[in-house]
Amino acid sequence: TFDTRMLETLVNLSSEGVWVLDENGNTDLINEPGAAILGFAPDEIIGKRPADIGFLGFDEDAQGVCEDQVERREFRMRRRDGTYIWVSSTARSFHDEDGQHKGSVALFSDVTNEKCQPDFKDDACQKLEVLEGISDGLFALSHDWRFIYLNDIAAANFGKKTRDLLGKMIWEECPELLGTSFELTCREVMESREKQKFETKSLCSDKWFDIRVDPTPSGIMVHWIDVTERRKALKALKEKEAKHRNLFENLHEAVSIFRPVIDGSGEVVDLEWVDANPVVDSIFGLRKGQIIGKRVSQMYRDLGAPATPISAIKEVMATGTSASIEDYHDPLLDRHMFVSVVPLEDGTYGMMAIDITGLKKVQNRAEEQRARLQAILDNTPVAVGVIDTKGGIVLDNGVLKRIWCNEELTLTSVSDYSKCRAWWPETGEPVKPEDWPAARALKGETSTSTFDIEKYDGTRGALIISAAPIRDEAGNITGAVWTNQDISDLRRTEEELKRSNADLQQFAYVASHDLQEPLRMVMAYLGLLIRRHGHELNPKAAEYAKIAMDGAERMRQLIDDLLAYSRIESNKAVRTPVDLNHVARSVVSDLRMAIEEADAEVDVESLPVVYADEAQMVQVLQNLIGNAVKFRGAEPPRVKISSKRRIGEWVISVKDNGIRIDPRHQDDLFKMFHRLHGRAEYPGTGIGLAITKKIVERHGGRIWFESEPGKGTTFHFTMPGMT
């Protein structure tokens, strides 16, 4: 038999009107949506026939349906409040096993709105059958475990049709259910009369079902929902949540989930931790999870809840979008943080804090260095700048405009360099834009050039310009750095000094030359006096004459040395490859008498070929070897001339075993007329080493000495190596 109380659960599942009549046509059950359509409360209809409350259409439906026949009708009816509506009704009659009428049920709905539409179609109002319209599996079992009702979905799940299962025992038709949780649950509900709900997997497929078993007067009713997709989604969600939790727990940054604490006026006054990763716990010195549930104000105590993070969350609450704080200084931790806040779906807010204290310190140091560098650049007289790959200036210290006397000067490419008028000093040819060191640097060259220039105010000057390429990690040229130094004043000073030196050299030469003639006359007449009348002179007069002759001889030597010194600059040097072995042997030959007189030995080792003025190289070695022989000690002189190769130059050394020279005289010894001994002890004018130094420096070298007690003295001088 079909139990109307069993249907109570079914009808409550429907959002449409359901009206159940017993075998006498009286109302056994009506749901609230159905009563509302009619304008009544359910209790006002229970026990009454439809005709008793003015609804003849439902009486006709109840009387007209036959077994297994579904009747669908539409009719116009008057509600309790007097208004008329259109109702679409589907009715079905139920019979027992003997074919006796046991009642009927109608599913109905208000279709007034659809009926008023001009394109209303009858099939749009058709409804599914009362029980067949439920989208879940549904069936009812009697106390003896026979099917007394199945909808099509339930029958399909069993792999059979409804008519093949009605009246049949479930355990005979579906023996595979025996011994399962489904059987156990059904038997418990049948015995205890208490509903149960459980989830199980289908025996025939990979599907999962959420099953509810309810007791009914006739037995039990089973309702199931396919939850396979829901379980898959839930599993995927759990896996996703596990991944996110793992990421959350292992982030190196501090991540917190906050719930705003709002006061009575709606203002956010505090933040409460809902979740936090271990980094947050460690920051505050807590064990894992201890911070959850605490408020920020509790952790910051006397400092109170920090206003900046609260303001950020207020902003996110107002806009619904994320917000960030580029540099937040936490008063409790005394650290600088980058903070980002994002809204979450449950009314909470995620906050990530990245410690940038180290970066902040680096930035501060970089800013201080930049400020110092800028101060240096701003106060240096040298123009410094950077160009891009086109040659345009992208950075400079502003000095370039002052050098050129044009505050509007703008250089955006190499071609713009033609705005700056410049000439090569050697040839007077104009400098092309591509010849400027900055342009050459863009081709990979590092160079320095000196140009004569004409400034924008019409004055002439000179520049020293240097430039070098800037390369990225891959070695590609990304620009160039350059310097421009105004040497106009230096050039003028240099020219004036050259003129002055030329005048002095000319004066020294003329003076020395003009002194030669009267000195020769004095020496000639003194010689005649001594030779012709020396015997007539008394001893005193003869001594005076000799002293005068010696003084004249020293004057001659001094004049000769002065002339030699002045000729170093005045005479144009003729530089050719010079074999110093030949020069040394020639000098030794010239000094043979002095060498033999001193019983000296001169050892000339292998010497290089240098690019020099041969006559001046003779002067250098003659002065150094001659001094080594002259300034001897008690032992006979031993002189060695040697050479040593260095990067880009040769070092020539003249070593003796003579007297020691105090290193304090390193600079003074090479000055004009500087002497360490009296003329009586060691004759000479004191100009020889000054001449030697001037010659060496004119050839791009340098000269110095080393001296140790008992080991003599070694003079070294350098000469550029030949390429």
pLDDT band for 572, please (50, 70, 90 cuts).
Answer: low
**pLDDT reported for residue 24:** 86
Mean pLDDT to the nearest integer, 397-422: 90
CA 82 from chain center: how many Å? 79
Q: How far apart are the C-alpha atoms of 91 and 33, rounded to whole Å?
A: 17
CA 431 from chain center: how many Å? 41
Look at 376 and 475; give whichever has higher pLDDT. 475
Per the DSSP assignment, residues forming a β-bridge with 385 are 396, 482
In order of 32, 429, 449, 480, the CA distances from 484 in angstroms are 96, 20, 10, 13
pLDDT above 70: percentage of residues in the chain: 83
Q: What is the pLDDT of residues 116-166, one digit of tens each?
A: 554 433 333 333 344 455 568 889 999 999 998 888 888 888 888 888 888
Helix (H/G/I), strand (E/B), else coil: 270: strand
pLDDT above 90: percentage of residues in the chain: 21
Q: Which residues contact 49 (CB under 8 A, 6 or more apart)?
A: 21, 25, 26, 27, 59
Mean pLDDT to the nearest integer, 540-551: 77
Name, of 191-205, 401-415, 572-586, 656-670, the range with top average pLDDT.
401-415
Q: How far apart are the C-alpha atoms of 370 and 119, rounded to whole Å?
A: 80
Is pLDDT above 80 for 80?
Answer: no
Ranking 92-106, 552-566, 708-722 by mean pLDDT, the lowest is: 552-566
Is pLDDT above 90 for 651?
Answer: yes
DSSP state letters, 108-157: EEE-HHHHHSTT--GGGG----TTTT-SSEEEEEETTSBEEEE-HHHHHH
**pLDDT reported for residue 125:** 33
Helix (H/G/I), strand (E/B), else coil: 4: helix
Q: How far apart are the C-alpha atoms of 262 and 314, rounded to whole Å?
A: 11
Tokens of residue 52, six digits: 């008793």
Q: How far apart are the C-alpha atoms of 24 and 723, rounded to whole Å?
A: 131
Q: How far apart are the C-alpha atoms of 523 and 191, rounded to whole Å?
A: 159
Helix (H/G/I), strand (E/B), else coil: 244: helix
Mean pLDDT to the nearest integer, 83-96: 80
Mean pLDDT to the nearest integer, 409-417: 92
**pLDDT reported for residue 309:** 87
* Total-model pTM: 0.35
609-639 CB burial, b ≥16 within 10 A, e <16: ebebbbebbbbbbbbbbbbbbbbbeeeebbb
pLDDT band for 253, please (50, 70, 90 cuts).
Answer: confident
pLDDT band for 183, please (50, 70, 90 cuts).
Answer: very high
Q: What is the pLDDT of residues 44-68, one digit of tens each?
A: 888 888 877 766 556 555 554 444 4
Residue 72 burial (10 A CB sphere; 0-12, 13-18, 19+): middle
In order of 64, 133, 204, the CA distances from 89 in angstroms are 13, 14, 38
Residue type, 48: K
Per the DSSP assignment, residues forming a β-bridge with 139 are 150, 222
Q: How far apart are the C-alpha atoms of 654 and 43, rounded to whole Å?
A: 136
**pLDDT reported for residue 597:** 85
Nearest CA to 714 out of 640, 644, 645 is that of 640
Is pLDDT above 70 for 70?
Answer: no
pLDDT band for 628, please (50, 70, 90 cuts).
Answer: confident
In order of 362, 542, 605, 612, 649, the CA distances from 720 in angstroms are 47, 54, 19, 9, 4
Tokens of residue 552, six digits: 């004249």
Nearest CA to 200 out of 212, 209, 190, 213 is that of 209
Look at 419 and 79; give whichever has higher pLDDT. 419
502-522 CB burial, b ≥16 within 10 A, e <16: eeebeebbeebeebeeebeeb
Q: What is the pLDDT of residues 277-325, one digit of tens each?
A: 888 887 777 777 788 888 888 888 777 778 888 898 899 998 989 998 8
Task: Give the number of other Cβ atoms within 10 Å of residue 245's Cβ.
Answer: 12
Q: How far apart are the C-alpha atoms of 536 and 232, rounded to whole Å?
A: 145
Under 8 Å between Cβ of 473 and 431: no
pLDDT band for 220, please (50, 70, 90 cuts).
Answer: very high
**pLDDT reported for residue 4:** 53
| DSSP conformation class of 169 | B
Helix, strand, coil percentages (3-state) for the chain, rounded to 5, are 40, 30, 30
Mean pLDDT to the nearest integer, 473-490: 90
User: Backbone phi, then psi, for 547, in 5-degree steps?
Assistant: -60, -45
Residue that is written with structure tokens 């659960």 in the block: 9
Q: Where are the alpha helices (DSSP H) in 251-381?
A: 278-283, 296-300, 307-319, 357-379
pLDDT band for 204, please (50, 70, 90 cuts).
Answer: low
Q: What is the pLDDT of residues 359-369, one digit of tens each?
A: 888 888 888 88
Ranking 371-385, 395-409, 570-584, 665-679 by mean pLDDT, the lowest is: 665-679
In order of 163, 378, 642, 714, the CA distances from 655 in angstroms are 132, 52, 8, 4
Q: How far apart are the C-alpha atoms of 612 and 634, rounded to whole Å?
A: 36
Q: How far apart are the C-alpha atoms of 566 and 552, rounded to whole Å?
A: 21
